[in-house]
Structure 1
């Protein structure tokens, strides 16, 4: 990570920030995420929260607040553009950070997320890394409209796709299945056009994915994906756990999810990441309970500048 540059007397420059590399692949890469612990003595306004990702040189920041009375823990997620109702790799980062704070080998918590949602998370510390996972809320799936496809596919540079669905988890996003890994890797979206289309359609962004060969019939299904979200100030996400949870829900709905799935992301950005997802509820439970997670590394805290 580069050292962020302070701007004048910005009060956020002195705020302690911990960088968590979330959703590592084989112990490397991952999505750098800024984690800030808010206390009764340190309460930020939303403008200051929006400044943290820029100062910390990360795409996202998660703010963790533990109440001194009952020990409840709330999380909020921000990019430079504003607050998000949910952030999967931010939740992985928060769980890893909290687990490191306890020092215990295993950790469980019910996180209070925006919108009154509760995220049941757990983490295991081992060898300097933290394996974290959590249960996401229900995923709503629907067919995209002709208008949505007419605006989004040209902006993505995709004249033809294998299938597409709009999935909502926190905010709606378009899941687009393309023929091959090569198609995913070659994507070069028109980011200004995609940002405008997503704003017009009130979508978070577009998650393009393709299946890749797995290691046998009992292995997790393997995918490669890229997530473009320029409308929220993230041209491309290194790791997007919530969209991966949406993919698991989609595969489950189609009857094709057996042993869970793993999605590789971030390679085009020089930071390989892997997210895992599975259906955690008993068969026949609707809507399905999706569990998503990844491996994280927690860095030493530093000031915001």
Structure 2
């Protein structure tokens, strides 16, 4: 996370490269409203700016809560990202914070004929495999959700990244979120591949987990805990809760962030 300065967008894209991270979030504090700080967030990968980033939002909330710790036990802020304004909360201490936020409405649809097969082929998944269920989901930018039978099938994936990027670019997708069929208690695992935005594989992806939660809201699940990052040696868990009302699925998503020491990018 970086305090926003007068950097150009090209310089912002260079920050995650210099820091050795998949994403960077830039924050700028504004005026307080209704007793809450208002904070603007911008997200960048090496390939450009994103309209939203779930795990970047969790990280930003953790750092903001750490800074406010002397004044507030529970931190709450109004966040602005892209065209959205929404609430985020964080609690904790000792450099470890639990954060949760509203990712916004999730749009769900089935892929057009042939589109799922295009992505499955790049992932190395047999399109006739009964467990390979595909959905298109969006909280700002669309991505494809792909279900596989279990964690071992997920761990064994070795996508052709060039082919996957070509497929995602052709279909206008942010990337592909592959997940194992959740256990009855809502525990699952996932891997997020997004070569089109310069992230071959992400260690955590809260917005895609929110998309999955919305997709499963009609299938008996009210909460999910999704393990990610194991294949990269950086394990993480994203939590989501969901319920339905007349307007559709309502999702809250978050996780626990540990604040490491700062680094110099000069």
For the superposition of Structure 1 and Structure 2, which TM-score range results when normalised by the shorter chain?
over 0.9
Residue 181 of structure 1 contacts residue 212 of structure 1 at CA under 8 Å; is this kept in 2? no
State the 1:213 CA deviation. Answer: 3.8
Between the aligned partners of 2:32 and 2:226, the Cα distance in structure 1 is 39
State the 1:44 CA deviation. Answer: 1.4
Q: Does 1:65 align with 2:36?
A: no
1:205 to 175, 178, 182: 175
1:144 to 94, 105, 111: 111
SS of equivalent residue, structure 1 residue 49: helix
1:105 to 55, 73, 79: 73
Between the aligned partners of 1:46 and 1:147, the Cα distance in structure 2 is 36
Q: Does 1:119 align with 2:86?
A: yes
Q: Does 1:52 align with 2:15?
A: yes
What's the CA shift string for 1:181-232, capped at 9, x where partnerless? 1110000000000011111111011111113545xxxx4x010111100111
1:225 to 181, 190, 194: 190
SS of equivalent residue, structure 1 residue 303: coil
Q: Does 1:155 align with 2:118?
A: no
TM-score of the pair, normalised by structure 1: 0.81
2:41 to 75, 83, 92: 75
Residue 251 of structure 1 contacts residue 257 of structure 1 at CA under 8 Å; is this kept in 2? yes
Match of 2:162 in 1: 192
What's the CA shift string for 1:87-126, capped at 9, x where partnerless? 0000001101111111132100110011x20121000023
Q: Does 1:131 align with 2:94?
A: no
Q: Which has the higher contact order (CA 8 A, sep 6+)?
A: 1
TM-score of the pair, normalised by structure 2: 0.92
Bigger drift between 199-208 and 292-301 goes to: 292-301
Residue 50 of structure 1 contacts residue 79 of structure 1 at CA under 8 Å; is this kept in 2? yes
SS of equivalent residue, structure 1 residue 289: strand
Match of 2:231 in 1: 268
Q: What are structure 1's unaligned runs of at least 5 residues?
A: 1-34
Match of 1:167 in 2: 137
State the 1:69 CA deviation. Answer: 7.8
State the 1:68 CA deviation. Answer: 5.5
Residue 111 of structure 1 contacts residue 120 of structure 1 at CA under 8 Å; is this kept in 2? yes
How many pairs does the alignment contain? 258
Residue 95 of structure 2 contacts residue 260 of structure 2 at CA under 8 Å; is this kept in 1? no
2:206 to 241, 247, 254: 241
Match of 1:294 in 2: 255
